[in-house]
Structure 1
Amino acid sequence: MDYGLAGRHVLVTGGASGIGLAVARAFIAEGARATISGLEARDVATALDHLGAGARGLACDLTAAGEDRRLADFAEETGPVDFLVNSVGIFEVRPFFETTDADWFHYFDVNVMTAVRMSRIVLKSMLERGEGSVVFISSESGVKPQAWMPHYGAMKTCLLGVSRALAELTRGTRVRVNTILPGPTETAAVRRYHEAIAAGRGVTREQVVADYFDETEPTSLIRRLIAPEEIAASVLHLAASPSLNGMAMRAEGGTIRSIL
């Protein structure tokens, strides 16, 4: 499908790996230019090698003061940002009773405030121009919290509220704000998590994944991990479709038993 993105510009935070990298690749495939960010310079450089022409990147820590503005200024060196995809996030399984206040504040800073900071700058510019699109990367955990990582679910729920509230600011413009809820996705972080479990149990990672859908996510209809490229295709559609605004799109393989 041709979304008419030739020459358009997407900024993907956290675009050096995982879902963010897949999103940047999907936009470039549609003819867009991509600016990505990542925490480590080597990861950004590796991602740019994969993305090829049409991509620029900056290593920055969006939890640090002034880094949001530095990234926005870097992105706008090549023109206005037409699409912002807030993909910075950390996934970590941690028992509730072992999660300190400092841990909670750190998760909030990384998973929520990085998106808030970038949206505060980029969305404002979009509203001034009267057009643009913002997508927040939430998770199935935002509406289906898991006991083994309540901090993660809470942050992803927060993103749903922020996104919908910001969408209300776009009334009467061609600016849109939406959220996507990926399900279990085969990112590097998830692979490392499953590999650690496999090593502890003395089984293969494939067995761990199979057990996961038998024991932990029995409601999954597709009963497999989702490829980052599959999530990216949904993000692209959500970002580029003019009639979609103020919505939360599920891309979680049917793990959430709901008709809405």
Structure 2
Amino acid sequence: MSKDFVGKIALITGSTAGIGLATARMLHAAGASIILNGRSEQRVAAAVATFGDADRVSGIIADVGTAEGCDAIVTANPDVDILINNAGVFAPRPLFEISDDEWISIFSVNVLSGIRLARAYIPRMMTRGWGRVIFVSSESALQIPPEMPHYGLTKTAQVAAARAFAQAAAGSGVTVNSVLPGPTESEGIERFVRELIPDHTLTIAEAGKLFVETARPGSLLGRLATADEVAEVIRFLASPQSSVITGSSVRADGGVIQAIM
């Protein structure tokens, strides 16, 4: 693998598993120093341990769904070159049963976390003349899922926030983009799929395929994506080679979104 990220510091929120951890591994392998993040000491320590005795890896325990958690991250790591706003939560919930507290909670984690960190880090990146910010959104930003409309709303808001920050950083050498994955293998999606398809005679791969066929019938991939497949897209957007891409929403959805643009 090329060493495009030597000397760069990358912060990935929600990176103790799934897409976040897969992205961290790829960036580390390409030379970046990695800051992992999660809410529990046990999970952060376990994620750091997956790198063995490798250097350039650290972890910070913080709940990015709170202002205090974001402030703690920025205080401990005042300068980063790459910010990947990956932290997110989701759960199936009928629209008319979603309370105010649930709306506020999911918005705080999925949207405000990225806004707070981008607001803190982008001006510093602009001063240095280089930076990459990536909001990990979802195909649900464009096709609001009926089983979890509050999640879809937050993913739409992420895309709008990324565009606004990209415009604010115009001409500075800092790019800001969104990535829109489709259903992707992770601990969270396994719980989600098992809740919607409770047939435990099926493997998670089989249940995931059935979920995609029934709940995301537009998928051209026809299965869950792997975390590594999505991480490869994020890695490219974080690289020097992606300098012409900013203010964009990059689909990594397996063709779930039924549009040509």
TM bracket, shorter-chain basis = over 0.9
Q: Which residue of 1 aligns with 2:45?
A: 45
> 1:185 is matched with which residue?
184
Q: Once the two structures are aligned, what percentage of the paired residues are identical?
A: 35
**2:67 partner SS:** coil
1:67 aligns with 2:69: yes
Counterpart for residue 253 of structure 1: 254
Q: State how far apart, in whole Å, the 1-side matches of 2:230 and 2:200 are.
A: 31
**How much has 1:131 moved relative to structure 2?**
1.4
Q: CA offsets per residue over residues 211-248 of structure 1, 9 Å max, x none?
A: 22332211111101001111111001012111111111
**Which residue does 1:4 correspond to in 2?**
4
Match of 1:244 in 2: 245
- 1:39-118 paired onto structure 2 within 5 Å: 39-52=39-52, 53=54, 54-76=56-78, 80-118=79-117
- Using structure 2 for the length normalisation, give the TM-score: 0.93
Q: Distance in 2 between matches of 1:201 and 1:227?
A: 22
Which letter does structure 2 place at the counterpart of 1:242? Answer: S
Which of 199, 202, 210 is equivalent to 1:204? Answer: 202
What secondary structure, in the 3-state scheme, does the structure 2 residue paired with 1:221 have? coil
- Structure 1: where are the runs of 5+ without partners? none
How many residues matched? Answer: 256
Q: TM-score, normalised by structure 1?
A: 0.93
**1:10-60, Cα deviation, whole Å (9 max, x unpaired):** 011111122111111110011111011101110000000013422100111
Amino acid in structure 1 at the alignment position of 2:234? V
Looking at structure 2, the residues matched to 186 and 249 of structure 1 have their Cα atoms a distance apart, in angstroms, of 19
Give the superposition deviation at 1:123: 1.0
8 Å Cα contact 2:193/2:211 also seen in 1: no
Q: CA RMSD in A?
A: 1.5
Moved more, 208-217 or 12-21: 208-217
Structure 1 counterpart SS, 2:183: coil
2:21 equivalent in structure 1: 21
